[in-house]
Every structure is written in structure tokens, then in C-alpha cells.
Structure 1
Amino acid sequence: MSNNKHILEVCLSPDLGGLELYMSRCAKELLATFNVTSVIASRSKLLDYFHNTDLEYEQLKRKSSFSIVASMKLAKIIDKKGIDIIHLHWTKDIPIVVFAKLFSKRKPKIVQTRHMTMTRFKNDFYHKFLYRHIDTILCVTKQVEQQIQAFVPQEICPKTQTLYLGANSMKMLSNQEITAFKEELNVGDAFMIGLIGRINEFKGQHLLIEALKILKAKQLNVKAYIVGHAMSETYLEKLKQHVHENELEEQITFVGFTKEPQKFMQACDVVLMTSRNETFGLVTIEAMKCGTAVIGANSGGVLEIIDDEKSGLLFESGNAADLATKIEQLYNNEDLKEKLAFAGKQKADTMFDNSVQFEKLKDIFKQL
């Protein structure tokens, strides 16, 4: 039964990754309980996730983080739709959303899901002004919540709460389907490694290439698949050149973006999280729910997901040699790989299930 509250989901990011896809999932999941309208950027990569669906959405042209024109247009949407709560996701949207609230007649509450770390004090006049108008910040990890409480002055700090992201239960492929998929990818009998996410330097794809160089020198039968949209074509070309220079074309494949990352996760022997300081790591959660072993860097939100040598393995952040060692550990120990995969799935199903987390989000909105 629909609640009387009207929610506005806002994400004007030009990219397509975990943050943006979470916004589209919020729009879908909240629809059964609230009246939901979404606002995405003109020509947004999110358009495919709204077009030809029951989701109500508007497109807004955004030239910069500070745009009075964009704020005024958003304010008109707020008043037209009778919005009670604005739920924003991209930190760079804060100025547009705050000014839209001030320009609007309804003055809705602002809730931000904070996907990114906070690394500096927000005690200047401009940031104090912005954060004074945010009502609640939902933090994707406890670490992020601690950062906000440390860096935003107490007198204007919004209410904070940790709300983990969740993943859906996965449709599990049959052994025959996995075999057929691996044949398409030309995996053969190799140990299959997956690295799934946006391709940019922060995500650490170069570490995988360095690790594969080490593993190839040891004559291990491994193949790695890098899956995701390239945020920087320059960085992508640099990675491909690195692969070519080290004669790793047979070991490393760049797949590009896919709408079915779970197929790769289920086919893989191990899925990696190589980001230097990943805020959360939704891909890791999804891989765990797929029943696949995971290896992640020992920093950021990954530490709240992977219990080292219990639900996955951790390697020293930024250390390709240590990453290679952890991959080799699973390569040589099938029993350990299966043990970690089983425990990882149990933890993900218990702590990071999509339905559980969205029920918590709904309760938060009901209480505002």
C-alpha cells in the first residue's frame, strides 16, 4: 500500500557504477511504499534503467556542481510533485539540491546516502551553509559515519546513521550454464579471476596486471577478466599497453560493461576488490552472494565486509605481489577456496541482503 509521502530520488552523475545503480534500485524498491519520482542527468547512462519501466523520472541538464538554473528547475519539480523528501546520492549534487530546497515552496527534507569517504574538515562558511540544510546522512559504512562526525562541525552536523548497501539474491546458474559461459569466454581449464567495476586508476586494475605478471612467471594456469565501463579512456589504453608489453594478452581480457555481472561472478574462481581505499564494495557483496570466493584490499569499507581467512582473503592495499600471493593461495587450495566462498555467502545473505537494507531505508523515510 502506497504511503502518502513523496520521495524524490536524485542522481545527476554522468557515470554508471555502484552509486548510480543503487539510486535506480532505490527508485524501484521504494515504489511499493511511497510515491517516487527520480531525477537523472540529461543523456544519463542511467536512462536505460528508467526507460520503458513504471518508474517516473525527469531529466535535468547539469553543467557544474553549482548551478542556479539547475536548482530552480529542480525546485519546480519539487513543488509540482509535492516532494516531502529528497534522497540524493552523488556528493557533487549537494549544492544543487540544497538551493533547490531553498527555492521551493515545500522545503522538503534532504537525506543523503554518503557513498564516498570524507577526508577534510567542512568548517568553512560554504560547507557549513550546505550541511546545515541536510537533515540526515545515511553512511554506507561505520567508517564513513565516523568520518562525517569528525569532519563536520557538531553544531551543524546532520543526523547520521550507518545503512549498509545490500545485494539481491542471485539467480544461480546451473553447472551446464556456467560451463557454456566459460566456453564463450575461452576460459578452458584455467583458474578464472574477475575484477568487476569502473575502470579508473583508483579501482586498481593495474594491480591485477602486475599480479598476473608474477603468476605467469610461476607458470600458473590463470586467466583474468576485467569487466566494467572505462571512466578514463587514457587509463584504459595505458592498461592495455601494459598488458601488451608484458605479453599477457592470453591471460587478461577486457570485457567492457555488462548488465549481467553476476554471470561473471558465478563463473569465476575468485572475484577481486583492488581499490586502494574502497568506501564499501558492493561488487564484493554480490560476489559473496553468488557463492564465489573474494579477495579484497585491507582498507576502507572492505574491512567491514571481509573477515580475513574466514569469509575471504585480504591483501596489503596497493601491493601487487601480496595480491598475487593470495590468488596463488586459492589456486593451490580448492578446499580453502570453497570454505571461504561458503562462509562469505552466509555473511552476505545475513548482513547485506537487499530486502533487509531497503526495509531499514523505508523505516527511516517513514519516521522523517
Structure 2
Amino acid sequence: MKRIAVVCNYRLNASRIGGMDRFFVAYDRKCKAYGFDVKWFFSGGKRFSFYKDLDIEICRKTSVENCFLSFQRKEKTEFDFIITHFVELCTPFFKKVKKIGQPYVISVDHNPRPLNGFPLKKKLKNKLKGKLYSCYIDKFIGVSNYTKTQILNDYGKNLSSKTEVIYNGIAFGEYALRQQANHGQFIVASHLRSSKGIQDLVNAISILDAELKQLLEIDIFGEGPMEAELKALVKEKNLEEQIRFCGSSPELPKLFQKYSYLLQPTYMECFSLSILESLAANVPVITTPVGGNLEIIEDGTNGFIFEAGNTGQLSAIIKEILQHQRTIAGPVNHLIENKYYLEKMVNDHLYLLKL
């Protein structure tokens, strides 16, 4: 029996079962069907019933990388494959794992880059790390063409022969389809940090005319370090009737259908699972052209695009929607069913195991 270790800088959260949770469980099931033994390492949170069939280590006292290395030293376990998700690429960690049994190492890059790129010092450091440690990674995986390009820019064009794209996919059958216009009801599904641009959304709503404000409702699902600051900003702008903070919810697949649009004013993205989830529920998306967003959102077809940080543009789009001057008429869910579905994502990752 071949053994796989999956090392994820990812916290388990029973209140938010998202696309990656569904991927992890589906991937584990499919690997076992092919005779693999899979050991999972997560950076935090708590095991809950959704993960009941997975062999899991929760790493609470140290980084998930150090936790994995400690496990190997203690258990003297050798793995045929080591796969990382959300872990920084090209670090000494990969050199250390290669010394134990010579596993095949796959690193999946989900990590977004800053809107204006890294500063020069960081760029030089990444180039050096690429020279020192990229040889210990057998396969680099970007979750979008944008991400693949950034891997090569960061760590060296010479990595192109061992860098591939595997798009994220979701279990579209889990999502109830929006059947009605639900005019004026918007959803945000996001981690609450500054790079997600939700502060721009609040400011964009604040400059709408009073009569238009009365026509809209925005529900924000998610948690994060900026939550208190965002709530204070909403209060300062007198928008508490328009904007509600709903926390995290495992029921999002059923809730998306209540809304007319997903609002995602992000500054940083690789390939957004929230966008895929929204489209799967037949809910178009208002977002920025960062990361891999333009690989799935076509302006005027399945969503609307505005410049990141441009609150005036965002406000104008919302205004025109509320005034029925701008709309997405056709269904937007078919792209997910045909191209960005969970089974395809799982099978594409299984192919890396040389099946």
C-alpha cells in the first residue's frame, strides 16, 4: 500500500464547510478506492463529523510543516507522496522532507499575491529560494493560469516543465439554484481581512442616494481580523439597516439562492472558490480583475468587473443594478457544471499520482 501525506496550512471549521473541505474529503475517498493510505495534517481547528473518515493530525503548538516533520521523526513513517496545500513554496521544509525516503513532492499554490506585486526585496528573496529549494519539489500546481504565471515569476522560468494548472472545482449539486431575480439582495462570502476589500464596499454603499440605500440588503458571511473594524465602519456610515454581519455558516450552499449578486471587492485572489460557489447557485458576481478572476468572470455575461479599490465604479454598478439599468439575464451556472466541478478537480489531482 502506498502512503500519502497531505500537509495543509488550513484550519478546520465546522461552521464553514467550503469548497476545499469538500475537495479534501472527496480526494481522500478516491485515493482510498485506489489503495492509497492517506494521512492529513491541518494547521488548526477541530475535527468534526464531516471529516469522520479521514486520518487527521491537528497541529496546534507549531506550524503544520514542523508538525509533519516531528511526526515523521517520532513515527519513522515514510511516505511515497507528500502533497502541500496553502504552504509557502520553496522553503527549507521541502529539502527536509526529501531526505526521508525520497517521496514524490507536489506543492499546490493557493496563495494570492499583492495587487501591485511584491517589493523588490521579496522578489529577490523568492528568486534565491527558487534556486535553493525548487529542486526538492517534483511538481508545482497553480490553481489558475494566473497562479502558474506567478510561480514562474517568483521562483524561476526554468520551472515551467514541472508546473501545471489544476483549477478548483466544487460540488455543484450541493447548491440550490436561484430561480428569481431577488432584486436588491446581495451576499458577501469572504474572510474578513483588508485584502478582501470589504471596506471599499461599505464606502461604495455610503455614497449612494438615500432612496437607493433603502432598496438594498447586503449579508456578509465570514469571520476574520477586520470584523470589529468593519462593523464600526458600517455604524459610522449609518448603514446598519443595509449591511448585516452573519458570521460563518455551513448552510451557504442553500443560502446563495436568496441573493441577486455576490459582491467580491477583493485585492488579492488566486482562483476564488466563493465565485465558483456563487455561480453554481446561478448567482452572478461583481468583482475585480485580480488573480484568476477574469479566467471565469466575463463582464456583462456572468458578472460585472470593476477596478480594485475604485469605490466609485463599484457604487455605480450597484446603482445601475438597483435602477434596473444593468442586469445579467441568462443563467450563469452551466460553466461550473461543465468545467469547474469537484469530480474533475479530484481526478486531475489523482492523475499526479501516476495512476
TM-score over 0.5 for the pair: yes
Question: Runs of 5+ in structure 2 lacking a partner?
Answer: none
Q: How does 1:193-272 map to 2 (within 5 A)?
A: 193-215=186-208, 217-220=210-213, 221-230=215-224, 232=225, 235-272=226-263
Alignment partner of 1:142 is 2:145: yes
- TM superposition score normalised by structure 2: 0.84
In structure 2, the residue matched to 1:350 is 338
Residue of 302, 307, 313 corresponding to 1:322: 313
Distance (whole Å) between structure 1 residues aligned to residue 316 and residue 37 of structure 2:
50
CA distance 1:295–1:282, shift in 2 (3 Å): same
- TM superposition score normalised by structure 1: 0.81
The structure, 1 or 2, with the larger RCO (C-alpha pairs under 8 Å, 6+ apart) is 2
The residue type equivalent to 1:292 in the other structure is V
CA distance 1:116–1:324, shift in 2 (3 Å): same
Contact 2:46 2:58 in 1 (8 A): no
Shift of 1:79: 4.6
Contact 1:273 1:281 in 2 (8 A): no
Q: How does 1:1-368 map to 2 (within 5 A)?
A: 4-14=1-11, 21=21, 24-25=24-25, 26-33=27-34, 34-41=36-43, 44-45=44-45, 47-48=47-48, 53-64=52-63, 67=66, 70=67, 72-76=69-73, 79-80=76-77, 82-92=78-88, 95=91, 97-104=93-100, 106-117=101-112, 119=118, 120-121=123-124, 122-124=126-128, 126-154=129-157, 159-173=162-176, 191-215=184-208, 217-220=210-213, 221-230=215-224, 232=225, 235-333=226-324, 336-339=327-330, 342=331, 344-366=332-354
Q: Give CA-to-partner distance per residue, 1:157-194, whole Å, 9 cap, x none.
A: 7710011000112345488xx99xxxxxxxxx872110
Contact 2:142 2:166 in 1 (8 A): yes
Q: Give CA-to-partner distance per residue, 1:48-74, whole Å, 9 cap, x none.
A: 3665x111112334535874xx45424
Contact 1:298 1:314 in 2 (8 A): yes
- Count of aligned positions: 339
Distance (whole Å) between structure 2 residues aligned to residue 94 and residue 23 of structure 1:
24
In structure 2, the residue matched to 1:182 is none
Contact 2:38 2:55 in 1 (8 A): yes
Q: Secondary structure at the match of 1:336?
A: coil
Instruction: Give the superposed CA RMSD.
Output: 3.0
Question: % of aligned pairs identical?
Answer: 22
Distance (whole Å) between structure 2 residues aligned to residue 23 and residue 94 of structure 1:
24
Question: Runs of 5+ in structure 1 lacking a partner?
Answer: 180-188
In structure 2, the residue matched to 1:185 is none
Contact 2:199 2:230 in 1 (8 A): yes
Contact 1:13 1:90 in 2 (8 A): yes
Shift of 1:27: 3.4
Shift of 1:88: 0.5
Distance (whole Å) between structure 2 residues aligned to residue 93 and residue 28 of structure 1:
26
